[in-house]
């Protein structure tokens, strides 16, 4: 036993997680090439040590991760800028490619300025820290992403309103005295539902409380030209003060950005340690992102979003017939199937793998106790027969496990 293990009892802690069905470990996943070894196959299938699987666990919503035009843009970016930047953006890490991407994102969002980050997690942490430094009251949706929740808990002025409950939020704002912000997601990552943005914007106006939106799962997927959830629900970004989007989901690459007022982002540039002390993401990724945005905003992007919408409707129709009590309302690519018990969830996920399907098995503390779930993500790389196959196999597995559980309960009684 190593010294760290001996001193801190790591083995016992891990064994306890295993008993509760909460143990996590990584698996190595490889892309399965498209027909004739080609690209353009997206994340439809993946290969692990145990076989090849239909992949319903990817956030590559538009299936762009291996688009040939994006891959070519990445190669050109490497030839022009090299493999890495070697420095933070405030030293020598900011390149013309980064500035061109920032300008493009400013045009899309209509905001004065954009900051680029290596990950959405870092971007959200920097956002919350910045407002804590400004002594802002933080009104945070209870189901907002962990990247915001983790830091917000350190605020002395945090209010977590019930999920999408704008009446609960309004009562708090009526009683509030200090300047505050409203923080929510465009598409909630575990439930797939949308924030009530129009109502939140009304509260923003009524109480002069800035609205901060994490649209990691909406940017590129929703709205005209893929411009995100504000464009879908409200027609523009006008009444969303600060907007966070990622380049790692629908865009098919890696990274994130924050768009907002020039003075606020200048404040972040001067104070956000996640920005100041991080090496800038490689410039070739910025080149790839620009190409991806061209696709997303063009006719091909519209076709991919249309195909994805068709798959969502088809899968929901199948599940409404086969397992209606397990599937909460979601019109997005994120389709949760609530199993409840973590042990039963593990069984369902394992049986799905035997059928050649991988889906995200999400357990507490990522989701509340008693709501362990499969997080099904549909992408434009899938085919209609893929979603039909998933619905058929999933419904059969859930019924089988439900029947076994009921039989065991009766025998025990």
Q: Which domains does the chain have, with CATH numbers?
A: 24-56+302-412 (3.90.1150.10), 68-297 (3.40.640.10)
How is the beta sheet containing 372-377 ordered, strand by strand? Answer: 30-31, 45-48, 51-56, 357-362, 372-377, 334-340
Active site (annotated) includes residue 98: no
Active site (annotated) includes residue 189: yes
Active site (annotated) includes residue 249: yes
Q: What is the pLDDT of residue 402?
A: 83
- Cα–Cα distances in angstroms (integers) from residue 231 to residues 5, 36, 166, 351, in the given order: 51, 39, 20, 40
**Residue whose C-alpha is closest to residue 367's, from 56, 145, 138:** 145
Are the beta carbons of 181 and 138 closer than 8 angstroms? yes
Q: Which of 67, 98, 129, 217 is catalytic?
A: 217
Active site (annotated) includes residue 185: yes
Contacts of 42 (CB under 8 A, 6+ apart): 60, 62, 63, 64, 65, 66, 379, 380, 381
| Whole-number Å distance between alpha carbons of 366 and 37 | 37
Q: Which of 58, 118, 147, 189 is catalytic?
A: 189
Q: Which of 45, 141, 185, 191 is catalytic?
A: 185
Q: Which of 60, 141, 191, 214 is catalytic?
A: 214
Chain center to CA of 161: 21
Active site (annotated) includes residue 217: yes
Contacts of 45 (CB under 8 A, 6+ apart): 32, 52, 53, 54, 55
Q: Which of 249, 291, 307, 382 is catalytic?
A: 249
**Residue whose C-alpha is closest to residue 248's, from 298, 303, 211, 288:** 288
Adjacent-strand bridge partners of 56: 359
Q: What is the pLDDT of residue 413?
A: 47
Structure tokens at 1: 């036993």
Global confidence as pTM: 0.92
Active site (annotated) includes residue 198: no
- For the chain, how are helix, strand and coil distributed in percent, rounded to 5? 45, 15, 35
Per-residue pLDDT of the chain (413 residues; tens, 9 = 90+): 798 998 899 999 999 988 887 888 888 888 887 665 556 667 899 998 889 999 999 999 999 999 999 999 999 999 999 999 999 999 999 999 999 999 999 999 999 999 999 999 999 999 999 999 999 999 999 999 999 988 888 888 899 999 999 999 999 999 876 679 999 999 999 999 999 999 999 999 999 999 999 999 999 999 999 999 999 999 999 999 999 999 999 999 999 999 999 999 999 999 999 999 999 999 999 999 999 999 999 999 999 999 999 999 999 999 999 999 999 989 999 999 999 988 899 999 999 999 999 999 998 888 988 999 999 999 999 999 999 999 999 999 999 988 877 666 555 54
256-260 vs 242-246, strand pairing mode: antiparallel
Q: Which of 67, 111, 129, 145 is catalytic?
A: 145
């Amino acid at each position: 036993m190593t010294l760290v293990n001996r001193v801190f009892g790591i083995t016992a802690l891990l064994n306890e997680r295993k008993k509760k069905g909460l143990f996590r470990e990584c698996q190595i996943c490889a892309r399965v090439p498209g027909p004739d070894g080609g690209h353009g196959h997206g994340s439809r299938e993946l290969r692990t040590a145990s076989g090849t699987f239909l992949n319903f666990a990817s956030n590559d919503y538009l299936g762009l991760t291996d688009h040939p035009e994006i891959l070519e843009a990445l190669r050109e970016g490497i030839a022009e800028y090299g493999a890495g930047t070697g420095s933070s953006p405030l030293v020598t890490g900011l390149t013309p490619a980064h500035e061109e991407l920032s300008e493009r994102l400013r045009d899309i969002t209509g905001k004065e300025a954009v900051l680029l980050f290596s990950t959405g997690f870092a971007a959200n942490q920097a956002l919350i820290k910045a407002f804590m430094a400004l002594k802002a009251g933080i009104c945070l949706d209870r189901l907002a992403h962990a990247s915001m929740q983790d830091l917000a808990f350190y605020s002395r002025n945090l209010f977590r309103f019930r999920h999408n409950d704008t009446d609960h939020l309004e009562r708090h704002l009526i009683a509030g005295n200090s300047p505050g912000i409203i923080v929510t997601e465009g598409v909630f990552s575990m439930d797939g539902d949308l924030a009530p943005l129009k109502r939140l914007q009304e509260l923003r106006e009524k109480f002069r409380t800035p609205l901060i939106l994490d649209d990691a799962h909406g940017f590129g997927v929703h709205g005209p030209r893929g411009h995100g959830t504000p464009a879908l629900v409200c027609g523009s970004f006008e009444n969303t003060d600060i907007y966070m989007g990622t380049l790692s989901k629908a865009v098919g690459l890696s990274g994130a950005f924050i768009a907002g007022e020039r003075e606020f982002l200048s404040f972040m540039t001067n104070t956000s340690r996640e920005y100041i002390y991080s090496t800038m993401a490689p410039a070739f990724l910025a080149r790839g992102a620009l190409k991806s945005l061209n696709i997303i905003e063009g006719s091909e992007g519209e076709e991919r979003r249309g195909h994805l919408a068709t798959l969502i409707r088809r899968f929901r129709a199948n599940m409404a017939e086969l397992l209606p009590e397990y599937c909460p309302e979601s019109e997005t690519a994120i389709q949760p199937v609530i199993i409840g018990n973590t042990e039963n969830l593990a069984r369902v996920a394992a049986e799905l793998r035997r059928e050649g399907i991988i889906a995200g098995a999400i357990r507490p503390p990522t989701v509340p106790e008693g709501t362990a779930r499969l997080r099904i993500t549909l992408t434009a790389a899938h085919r209609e027969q893929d979603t039909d196959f998933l619905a058929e196999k999933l419904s059969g597995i859930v019924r089988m496990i439900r029947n076994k559980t009921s039989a065991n309960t009766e025998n025990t009684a």
